[in-house]
Structures are given as structure tokens and as C-alpha cells.
Amino acid sequence: MKKFLFFALLCTVACGRQSDTPVYLDPTADIEDRVEDALSRMTLDEKIAAIHAQSTFSLPGVKKLGIPELWTSDGPHGVRPEVPWNDWGNPGWNNDSCVAFPALTCLAATWNKEVAGLYGKALGEEARFREKDVILGPGVNMYRSPLCGRNFEYMGEDPYLAGKMAVPYIKGLQSNGVAACVKHYACNNEERHRHKTDVELSERALREIYLPAFEMAVKEGGAWSMMASYNLFRGTHCCHNGYLINDILKGEWGFDGVVMSDWAGCHDTEEAVLGGLDVEFGTKVGKKMPAGESVYDIYYLARPYKEGILSGKFSEEGLDDKVRRVLRLTFKTAMNLDKPFGSMCTPEHLSVARKVAQEGIVLLKNDGDVLPVKKGGKISVVGENAYKKMCIGGGSSMLKPVYEMSPLEGILEKAALENMEVVYSRGYVGDTTTTQDGISSFQKLADDRSKEELIAEAVENSRDADYVIYVGGLNKSLYQDCENRDRLEYGLPYDQDELISALAKVNKNMTVVIISGNAVAMPWIDEVPSVLLGWYGGSEAGRAIADVLFGDVNPSGRLPFTFPVKLEDNPAHYNGKTFPTRGKNHYDEGIFLGYRWHEKMDIKPLFAFGHGLSYTSFEYGDVTLSSKMIRNGKISIGVPVTNVGKVAGSEVVQVYVHDCEASVEMPQKQLKGFDKVYLEPGETKTVSIELGPDAFRFFDEETMTWKTEPGDFEILIGSASDNILKTVTVAL
């Protein structure tokens, strides 16, 4: 309601001013006319104020014109709890809980664009209700190393998958008048030294691997804002990087939105001004200001910028471009009369959270059809992650959920319906911290028992159980899945490998559920028959995991990144490379990231990109093509898929392309299309996928342009990158 009052003030100001110029501040006028009119009425001080923070999360607006403050909030998995004006503490609100949606790795694992749209729309409704104008997400940086602490906020190792899943998320979010702020532009692939890491990589790798998801977010998703990353790129911080921001983002892609700094990512006035940064947030000034003045006044894009304009060092025209972008964003969000009112913590939003979590869960292994759990008998549940809440933690993406259903609670709920006995054993003790920024999960995690005592209890409780369900993995503590830190090891922490092996020795009817946003080593993989990847599932995590374990939902998630057997199999760690890197970081693997690398080097992964099992089976029929020739860079593919099992389920049809005659080195295959299809037992549907010109090109570093060469291309169709079922050859 408060923002509608600004429109009354706006009309009062406009109508009371004598001018021959049309008053385009009328909210029904064209946005570009409103932008120019507002800009013409602003003083230099008002323009400067518009492009830097006035608080931890807001811009000031222009009071005399009735232009309200612009409020941002951390995402990308939910609306962050409120913080005080100038810090990151807890102001003690009791009405800032939210629905916690699954982490973006889980969303990417759904391989379902429709579900991504539902996710974005529900998140946007919650943000709208909380009067947030910009959600800081989604994250689309590439998964380069399994040790990167922020991988759980991103969408995997493949730029096509990440981009195609981000686009509907962005559209759904922005349909509520809430801007997406796509992050972190670009090459943010490690956390520990993120302010010092200087990425060096080939132009081809930049264009083919690290930028396409951002480009899709702009050109297909219509993103209204973008966040520049902390790291340097070719010697210049990304928040000041004119090549990335001015030349590519604003120039080649035609981006007309706001480029904002990551919090404390701006380091220099001249570089920021000339490098294309539009808005500065979070700079740590570290100075005590005179009475009546604010630290925000001496931000790099504040007083120093104004002084540079007055001295003639900088032009006011450059400032005007930045202000136009902020005004444009404000008119689309805070002053958007067509935006809905929003809603918060509704059954519909919780249903979306549960559906995303269900569809993202990946069944990695299921020898002997251990899953789904057969009804009746005793279940031994083991592991701290069965009980531990995961939304409090992880850094900036931490949430204050209206509730968080744990895996243990979900299993107990299902077991009660089937009159099954459940016994729980802690198994191991990890990080017992239960608060972040003053927000608590209200759990008691302290346990003084020794490792030997914990293992002995778990083994004894599991020996005569009909089923053992181990729930472990990582958590959102520092040095695990957490912003600002990277993992210290590829293996599971807290001696979990020893515990899993001990359980496997006494009961072979065992499922390991991994809670994680990252790949992990599994030295015990041959000892256990069943492995499920549960991700960080948000408010409905426990119910979603139980739905899959008990067979109420057929798992349909597919891996958005490769699981290497050992860390050294990953290109960021291959041949003794160090990670994380302080200083120059050479991406010597070039375009060969993830599955591209494993196939180039003939390194068998633990689990391949795109891998995921089902409780049913599918068969692919003969492929049909619109033509044997690729004309105008396009070709349509039809693939009949039949559910030949006994239960309904969803299959993800994946289409890869191999260039048979390229003049440059190419990957063995690259994902260029996918679709998810739901089938009843015995049902057949034809999946139709169109490949466009982007599927057949590469970036030519000699001409600095995209290039498509005539010749033969193989179209590879399958259910995973290592499970190609159909191959057809076409000519361009």
C-alpha cells in the first residue's frame, strides 16, 4: 500500500508544476518517456544518490518526484529474512519467514523448464508480498570444481542446461513485477579467494562455456538486472570490467538493465565509472563519519564520482546512462501498477517447493531394486543429516523458513501410515552450530558421545532392521556448501565413510541418501546397493525424500554435473593444479569442462552428467528428422519414448551434437536440447526437439565471431551423456 501513496504524491508534484513539457511521470505512460522525463527533473545530487546504496539492501529513490525506494533481497532460494538498516544482524521481526525452495542445483536436476517457471513465479509472489523489488538470483555460474562452496546456488556444469533452466525462472519471477538479478557475472568459480582470484581463460572458453547462460538470461529471459562478481577477469575486477560489461553485456547483447556490484565488489571510482557499473552496494568504507554524514556518501560511485563530474574528469552523460537504467528498473518494479499483490507461505508455494524437490531427487544406484521401500517391517534411520535443518546457513542464501521438514520427519510420517517401526541413530556429529546472523533453527545438536559409541549404536540398531536408510553428506557450514569458503576435501566429512561401511557390513538392504549441493567421493559405492541424491530440498525436503523412498513418487531427477571418482579427475584439479587460487588462475582446460573433459581424457566418472535412474524402464523408438539436411541452421527431431515398466514415470530425453569435421578441436558431444516427458505404463509419446543455429557453431578466435562450418554432424540421443541410445547423421 505504501508505494501506491507515492503515486498520489507523484500526481501532486506533476500537476502543481507549470511546464509546457508533457508530464510523463504518469504511471500509465511509456516507460522510456517516463525515464527521460524523470531524468530531466533530477539534480546532480539526486542522480548520484540514485546509483549507490542508502542501506544494506536499498536505493533511495527520488522523493520530490514520488519515486520510491528500491529494495533488493538475497535469494535465490527464497526471500531472505530482514536485516537492520546498516548491518547483517537480526532485527527480530516475527513476520519475515518464507517458503524455502530447493537449492538451484536441485532445480537444475529436474531438467524441467515448466517447473523452473513455477519456482520463479512462486518466489516472485513471496518477494512481492514482502515489498522486495529485486531478488538477487538466479546464479548461473558454471560448476568447475566440486570444492567450490557456492555450487549449490548454481545450475551445474553445462551452459545450455543452466541457461534454459534460468530463463523460465526469470520470466516467472518478473511476472510479479520483481526483477531477477542474474549472478555472478562472470567466472565466479571459487569462494575462498574470490576478491583476489584473477581468471585467465581463452576467448573461446569464455564465449562457449562461461557466458552462454548469462546471454540466455538477457536475450531469452529478459532479465532486468545483473550482478557483477567479486573476482578479477584478465586483470580487472568484474565489477569494473569494461570488456565484460560495456562491450559484451551492454554492447553485443543489448542489455538495458542495471549492472550492480556484488556487496563490497567495487574497488575504484574511475574503473567503476568507465567500466560500466551502474549501482554500488555493500562497500566497506571503514571510516567514522562526521555528524550528519553517512558512510554511503563516500562510496566510489557517490561523492568521488560527483567530484569527478564537477572537475570535468567524468561526463554527466555517462552518469545519465546509469540513472536511466535505475529508473527503468524502478518503473518495472516498485512503480509498476500492474504487479500483483503477492502472497506468502501459502499451501500453493509449499506445493511448488515439494514438487521441485521431488523432481530434482536423483536415484544414482538401485541394485536389486532395494527402492522403493516395501511396506511393513522396521526401518533404521542413521545420520545427522536426517535430523539437521539446512536452511539456516550457507551464507547469503540463508533463509528463515516457515518450517523445514527433515528427512527423519518425512520418513516417520510415511512409516506411521504403514504401521512401520522407525529407530533413529545419530551416527556421527558434525557442525553443531544452529544460528547464522542471529537466526536460529532451534535445534539441539550437541552430543558428547565418541565416534566409536555413535557407530556402535547405529550398527546395533541396523543389524536386524528390514531397511537401513542412511542420511548424510554435507551441510551448509563453513568449508562445505557455503558462501565465502570452499570445501577442504572431496570426501565426506565427519568420518562418514567409516560409518557407511560399518552399516553395510551388517545389513545389505541399505540406501544411502546424500544431502549436498556438490559431488562427493564414494569409496563405499560397491558396498551399498542403493544411493539417492537428495540435495537441499527446502521447506518440504523431508516429505519429498520420503515420497521417493516409499515409491509414492518415481524419481526423475538427472545430474546437472559430473561426479568424478576422485578429485584429480576434475579439470580444475588435474595434474596437481591448486584450488582455490589466490592470484592468476589459468583455466587451461579451456572448453573441456565437466563431461567434455572426462570424454576428452577418457576418464570414467563415478556418475555421468545427465545420469539418473527410475523405478520403471523406457524404450526409444526410431528417430524422425524434418530433413537429413540442416537448413537455415535448424532441424527438428522426433523421438518416440515408451514406458515399458509397471509404474508411471518421467524420462528426460537428452540431445547432444557432435561435429564430425570441425577445423578446431571439439568436444565429443555437447548438450543442445532436452525435454522431460511423463508416461503411464505402456504409454508412448513422441518427444519433439528443435535444434537451432547455436547447436552447430563454435567461437572462432581468429575472427572473434561465431562460426558454423559445413559438413556432417551426429545427433546423439539418450538418457545421459554416457548412455546414448540413438544416433543419426545430418549434413549442413
Helix, strand, or coil (residue 343): coil
Residue with cell 565509472: 273
**What interhelical angle do 316-332 and 303-310 show, nearest 10?**
140
Rounded-to-integer distance, Cα 508 and Cα 613, Å: 20
Instruction: Please indicate whether residue 262 is annotated as part of the active site.
Output: yes
**Among 262, 481, 547, 722, which one carries the catalytic annotation?**
262
Q: What is the distance between the terminal CA atoms of the chain, rounded to a whole angstrom?
A: 57
β partners of residue 688:
638
Helix or strand holding residue 670 (H, E): strand 670-679
Q: How many CA atoms lie within 13 A of 305 on its CB side?
A: 35
Q: In this structure, what C-alpha cell is assigned to residue 563?
A: 561426479
> Look-up: residue for cell 520420503?
546
Using alpha carbons, select from 514, 478, 481 the residue that is nearest to residue 497: 514
Count CA within 13 A, CB hemisphere, residue 335.
29
> Hey, is 500 helix, strand or coil?
helix
∠ CA 219-223-227, rounded to 5°: 115
SS3 for 362?
strand
DSSP string for 123-183: HHHHHHHTT-SEEE--B------TT-TTGGGS--S-HHHHHHHHHHHHHHHHTTT-EEEEE
Instruction: Report how far residue 593's alpha carbon sits from residue 532's, in angstroms, rounded to the nearest whole number.
Output: 25
SS3 (DSSP) at 66: coil
Say how far apart CA 337 and CA 686 lie, in whole Å.
42
Alpha carbon 319 to its chain's center: 32
Taking every pair of Cα atoms in the chain, the longest distance, rounded to a whole number of angstroms, is 88
Q: What are phi and psi of 30, to 5 degrees?
A: -60, 140
Q: At what angle do helices 347-360 and 541-549 cross, to 10 degrees?
A: 50
- Full DSSP string of 577-641: --SS-SSEEE-TTTT--THHHHHHHT---SB-TT--B-SS-EEE---EES-SB-BTTBEEEEEEE
C-alpha cell at 491: 570426501
Residues constituting the chain: 732
Alpha-carbon distance of 170 to 273, in angstroms, equals 28
SS3 category, 681: coil
Cα gap 100→148, rounded to integer Å: 22
DSSP secondary structure of 217-284? HHHTT--SEEEE-SSEETTEEGGG-HIIIIIIIIIIS---SEEEEPTT----HHHHHHHT--BB----
- Cβ(643)–Cβ(683) below 8 Å: yes
Catalytic residues: 262
